[in-house]
Structure 1
Amino acid sequence: MPADFPLAILAKAPVPGLAKTRLIPALGAKGAAMLHERLLRHTLKVALAATDAKSITLWTALDHCHPVFQELADHHGIILRPQPEGDLGGRIHRALHAMSQPGLLIGTDCPVITPSLLAHCYLALGRADVVMLPAEDGGYGLIGVRHCDPRLFDAITWGTDAVMEETRKRITILGWQLSCPQTVWDIDRPEDLQRLSVAYPALAREADHQSA
């Protein structure tokens, strides 16, 4: 581990019917929630291999007191904080702004992020104003900033394939230098499940194709 660095994870509680809703047609509400919980646990395992538990903040949504969140905090010593109201950009900005020094932010949908990739992104942040991992679907799987400026996240069309392109334009307007060490893929749609089952069979196991 080259250095401890702040790492924020945005995470929904694994509530059936509310978590991974785009996967419900393929997995059912319970199956989608179960997969979400496995992805959450995998993400935290990766994070703990990259930085110290005291440097990790799990920003919770849907049910801030969900037993899974409490278990992870009690067992690992990570910090829990509720995500604020507002759009995704506001929540990302809040999590980055809360850091005592520049750090990274990820979600729970990108199993290809590894401890070494997190460490590499943190080192890249020492040379660039912004570090990001663009996603194949047009979004991004990681962001880190040296300067917190809400203009970076204003009026982005979240949830579309234009998110990364629009963010690049904001970075250019701000006059910042961007580093993109790698392109990643995430788990959002039913067509992503086959790829997950090949690359990460333990995560995809018994996705169960349960009915809602």
Structure 2
Amino acid sequence: MSWPMPEGAVLGIFGKQPEPGKVKTRLAAEFGDDFAAEAHEAMLLDTLEAWGTDRYLAPGGRRVFVFSPEGAGPWFDRVVPRGLAMQAQAAGDLGARLQAFFEGEFAEGASRVVVIGSDSPTLDPSIVISAFLCLDQKDVVIGPSTDGGYYLIGSRVPVPSLFQGIDWSTAGVLGQTLDRLRGSGRSLAVLPPWYDVDTPDDWRSLGAHVRAMRLSGMDPALRRVEALLPRVLPAPGAPPR
């Protein structure tokens, strides 16, 4: 059963056009630029399909895909579900882009804003829904990722300091964000940790997770990701490479 988003709630999904050599460079170090771009595209489109349809969310609120680079709109027009609005990311580093999105949504009347990316395709949808519910009581909600960053961030009030002076793409992102929050006086809710897929080992972990879901009788609902897994991972029962 789909969850009805409250009026004024906004789910933002940040994503980048899958261009070889410009995405998933750590994955590409072992599997090559072309496969890394295909993996990025598969995770992104599976994520957009999940949240841009009524699979998890009933009509209500606002769902928006926030893309980069700015000129990629025509490419995404062909593949983004109609249930998602689209807008280009602002200029600057990730912090500046996140801050601009949050401030823009609050200026338009949003009551709570939650942002996810496409690097955690197996993310339990109940966690995202919990993020919105946490914002009934708390000012900020964060989902820590196992690499030292976060896979989700949300707030019910503007907190610009959350995104300023952060060493992005490092293991210090979460700690630095918490330092900024401590100085803001805003309250915090914390979600269960999850994993991003950035490295070859992450991809192998994703493959094992998807296989485990299938074996348990669960449908991962990741048709593009599942189609790619056999390309670089050993078949079930085969010896490790």
Q: Structure 1-normalised TM-score?
A: 0.89
Instruction: Write out per-residue CA displacement over residues 29-60 of structure 1, whole angstroms, 9 at most, x where no aligned residue.
Output: 11111111111122113323333487111111
Mapped pair 1:169 → 2:179: yes
**2:14 matched residue in structure 1:** 10
**1:88 matched residue in structure 2:** 94
- Among 37, 58, 61, the alignment partner of 2:65 is 58
Cα distance in 2, alignment partners of residues 196 and 173 from structure 1: 36
Instruction: Write out per-residue CA displacement over residues 137-167 of structure 1, whole angstroms, 9 at most, x where no aligned residue.
Output: 1000000011113222110111110110111
Moved over 6 A (4+): none
**2:36 matched residue in structure 1:** 32
Cα distance in 1, alignment partners of residues 31 and 60 from structure 2: 32
What RMSD over aligned residues (CA atoms) do the two structures have, in Å? 1.9
Cα distance in 2, alignment partners of residues 132 and 83 from structure 1: 21
Q: Which amino acid aligns with 2:228?
A: E
- The answer to whether the 8 A contact 2:5-2:60 is kept is no
> 5+ residue gaps in structure 1?
none
Q: CA deviation at 1:200?
A: 2.3
Q: CA deviation at 1:129?
A: 0.7
Q: Which amino acid aligns with 1:65?
A: G
- The answer to whether the 8 A contact 1:11-1:58 is kept is yes
Cα distance in 2, alignment partners of residues 29 and 131 from structure 1: 34
Q: CA deviation at 1:65?
A: 2.6
CA separation of 1:53 and 1:30: change in aligned 2, threshold 3 A: farther
Q: Which amino acid aligns with 2:193?
A: T
Q: CA deviation at 1:66?
A: 4.8
Number of residue equivalences = 207
- The answer to whether the 8 A contact 1:132-1:142 is kept is yes
| Relative contact order, higher structure (CA 8 A, sep 6+) | 1
> 5+ residue gaps in structure 2?
212-222, 233-241
Mapped pair 1:195 → 2:205: yes
Cα distance in 2, alignment partners of residues 30 and 119 from structure 1: 34
**2:236 matched residue in structure 1:** none
CA separation of 1:77 and 1:45: change in aligned 2, threshold 3 A: closer
Q: Which amino acid aligns with 1:142?
A: L
CA separation of 1:188 and 1:196: change in aligned 2, threshold 3 A: same
**1:41 matched residue in structure 2:** 45
Cα distance in 1, alignment partners of residues 126 and 15 from structure 2: 21
